[in-house]
Amino acid sequence: MKINGDRMLSDMKALREITDTPRSGVTRFSYSQKDQEARAYITRAAESAGFTVRTDAIGNMFIRFAEAALQAGEGTSAAVKNVYSETKRIVVGSHIDTVRNGGWLDGVYGVVAGLETMRTLSEDGTVTLPLELVNFAEEEGSNFGSTMTGSKFITGIYGEEELDKLRNDQGVSLRKMLQRCGFPEYKREEVVWDFEQVRAMLELHIEQGPVLERKGLSIGIVDVVYGMSVLEVTLKGVGNHAGATPMIDRRDALTAAAVCIGEAERIAKEDPERDNGSYSRQNQRFCLTVPT
């Protein structure tokens, strides 16, 4: 079975045009006018394929095979009718919001790929997988300064409190913004997922690094995600007379910082897996020796 590559590409190109910064990457913050236009585009594409579209209180979008599409499959209609009720669903998708002047494929590729997969299966009449396409809202966090906002609500990490706490640059609360967009009122039980009902989540995403290209590979499967952490380190030295203090008695903070920086680089580069673009777990424990 083959997807319709031209159709998929034309969807992605159409979404690329929905931007606040034409000819300068794609800028489409969640809940903005352009975001609404992009949502409308996806909704139209999904509905014309015969799928149902639902949006939760946070603006996360969910697309499923509808009864009409399920019955299109010859001889399989009875089985596919119950495709969602008898098995755990398989979630596919990503996000369509972007950072300022972002790339046109980030997120969109995953959403459109999911849509194209569903269209292909539906047209082929083999709607036997309980697929659900999701577009996570405010994934980039460009609007409210908190990344993966939509999925944080889905997991229940965020709730009622964050609706008022999260504010954008103009001081507008997330709750107010969601109301403006016309999304349904927040009810925890309608937003938080029951993960017992989810078999898997698949996201097709462009590689944002050079490894696949260097290795000549067309696809890779992510088995580990960086747990990025940012540390602020203060190194305190001792000030003294430049001319009168012998080198051996100096406590120069900048020198110590230079050693720290060099060591961090060395430890990361010594990792046997560095060429794969991943670092082994043992290197999560940095051990720096700084001369005093």
Q: Interface with Zn ion by CB under 5 A: which range of 32-40, 71-79, 100-108, 261-269?
A: 100-108
Minimal distance, residue 27 CB to Zn ion, in Å? 15
Q: Interface with Zn ion by CB under 5 A: which range of 101-109, 121-129, 190-198, 260-268?
A: 101-109
| Residue 107 touches Zn ion, criterion: CB under 5 A | yes
| Residue 106 touches Zn ion, criterion: CB under 5 A | yes
Counting residues that bind Zn ion (by CB under 5 A) gives: 2
CB of 105 or CB of 260, closer to Zn ion: 105
CB of 219 or CB of 233, closer to Zn ion: 219
Phi, psi of 17 (to 5 degrees): -75, -15
Alpha carbon separation from 4 to 9, 21, 30, 121, 129 (Å, rounded): 9, 29, 28, 11, 19
* Integer Cα distance of 89 and 62 in angstroms: 12
| Residue 50 touches Zn ion, criterion: CB under 5 A | no
260 CB neighbour count, 10 Å cutoff: 16
Minimal distance, residue 103 CB to Zn ion, in Å? 9
DSSP conformation class of 195: G
What DSSP letter does each residue of 65-128 carry, written as one string? E-HHHHHHSTTTHHHHHTTTTSS-EEEEEE-----TTB-SSTTHHHHHHHHHHHHHHHHHT---
Question: Which segments of 6-49 are extended strands (E)?
Answer: none
CB of 65 or CB of 153, closer to Zn ion: 153
| Residue 114 touches Zn ion, criterion: CB under 5 A | no
Minimal distance, residue 95 CB to Zn ion, in Å? 6
| Residue 132 touches Zn ion, criterion: CB under 5 A | no
Contact, 212 vs 90, CB < 8 A? no
Q: Interface with Zn ion by CB under 5 A: which range of 105-113, 116-124, 170-178, 274-282?
A: 105-113
Minimal distance, residue 149 CB to Zn ion, in Å? 14
List all residues 6 or more positions away from 242 whose beta carbon is below 8 Å from its beta carbon. none
* Integer Cα distance of 159 and 190 in angstroms: 12
Minimal distance, residue 104 CB to Zn ion, in Å? 12
CB of 220 or CB of 272, closer to Zn ion: 220
Chain residues in the site for Zn ion (CB under 5 A): 106-107
